[in-house]
Structure 1
Amino acid sequence: MARKLRKDEPNKAPPKSGADDLSVLHPDMTVSIAGQSVTVREYGLLEGLIVRGYMRPFTADLERMLSTGSEVLTEDVMDAIGLHAHLVHRALAQSIAVAGNEASETDMQWIGQLKDLDGDRLLNTWWGVNGLFFLRQATRRVAERARRQALDGATSTLSSPPPDSDPLIDSDAIPNGSSNSSTNEP
């Protein structure tokens, strides 16, 4: 049972852990890239729906990688990112744009001019902030396909009655010469 502490009574509760609680709820990260402080944001709901639409080819490649059952290496993901560089460029720019705004041409150009090391830092930060956004989509599709395959592979133990028969009437229980019709014919 809880009780109220007196003013002179010290609080003996353990210190709250969770210094990373905010980063779990809002994993935005600010990094220094090419001499500029850049905040890479997690996509919001509506923004994420837009990004999801144009990034579908990239997500499909992630899905294919995950569905093999083999271990997926970070470099495998980076290869998929490279295959869809034009889409990722747009998604990267969107993640550094001011929340609620679309990525500007200036953002796109700035990213396009980054040197390898700075570009790699930005790309890895973007993946750290938004990677789960794409992986959730891919894993949901893989899981749904597996469930459907399991259901399609399951066979029913109930047999269906032959066509043109009434499953509620046992034909063996009807005496010979009798009809299951309700009309009285001689």
Structure 2
Amino acid sequence: MATRIGNQDQPPSEPGSLDSEAVAGELDILAAQQQGQVDGKTVIVREYGFFEGARILPAAAPLLADLQPLFEGRDPPSMLEVTDVLLSHPDVFRHLLACAIAPPPGEGTDTAAEVRAQEAWLETLNETDGEQMLLLWWQANGNFLLRRLLRNAVGKRVNQSATDASSPT
């Protein structure tokens, strides 16, 4: 038997009816997006797709390497600590932001040109708008980084435990 999820008090929509807010909400669940005002424009920051993320990982490697120590301690890092690391790699981070606001690959556009155009626009942002972009991006794509960072941290702990167990005492 199927379990119904979502708003139990709201009847399901009739076939063929389009409630634009409901459709938008469902799409946000399927493809995580964050929307906000940046530089006087409405900006939609989308979550990376699976293969897009795979293509982005090599470029993000230096940033991930610097974030990794923050996630290996007992306490989670503060957003300020994470932000400091992100901003210590401005070119990499700008590219990650641009990829998340450019149209997704496969939509019939020149993805590389779109990303370059978004990178150029990001360079024009003031401090406040830049911070807003960072937060929107983190909301949409923070899990992309966190999954890798936590997986690596757990792997290191498992390896360390195995090494400690096999060491003579």
- TM-score normalised by the chain length of structure 2: 0.76
> Cα distance, 1:138 vs. partner?
0.7
- Alignment check: 8 A CA contact 1:34 1:114 kept: yes
Residues 21 and 152 of structure 1, relative CA distance in 2, 3 Å threshold: farther
Please state if 1:66 is matched with 2:71. Answer: yes
Aligned residue pair count: 144
- Alignment check: 8 A CA contact 1:58 1:81 kept: yes
Q: Whose RCO is larger (CA < 8 A, sep 6+)?
A: 2
Residue type at the aligned position of 1:128 = Q
Please state if 1:80 is matched with 2:85. Answer: yes
- Name the SS of the counterpart of 2:36 in structure 1: strand
Residue type at the aligned position of 2:9 = P
Deviations 1:25-57 (A, max 9, x none): 422122221121211110011110111111011
Unmatched tracts of structure 2, length 5 or more = 2-6, 11-21, 106-110
The equivalent of 1:52 in structure 2 is: 57
Residues 40 and 148 of structure 1, relative CA distance in 2, 3 Å threshold: same
- Alignment check: 8 A CA contact 2:95 2:115 kept: no
Aligned counterpart in structure 2 of residue 111 of structure 1, from 113, 122, 128: 122
Which structure has greater helix proportion?
2
- Name the SS of the counterpart of 1:30 in structure 2: strand
- TM-score normalised by the chain length of structure 1: 0.70
Which entry has the higher C-alpha Rg, 1 or 2? Answer: 1
Q: Kindly, what percent of the aligned residue pairs are identical?
A: 28
Deviation larger for 105-114 or 67-76 = 67-76
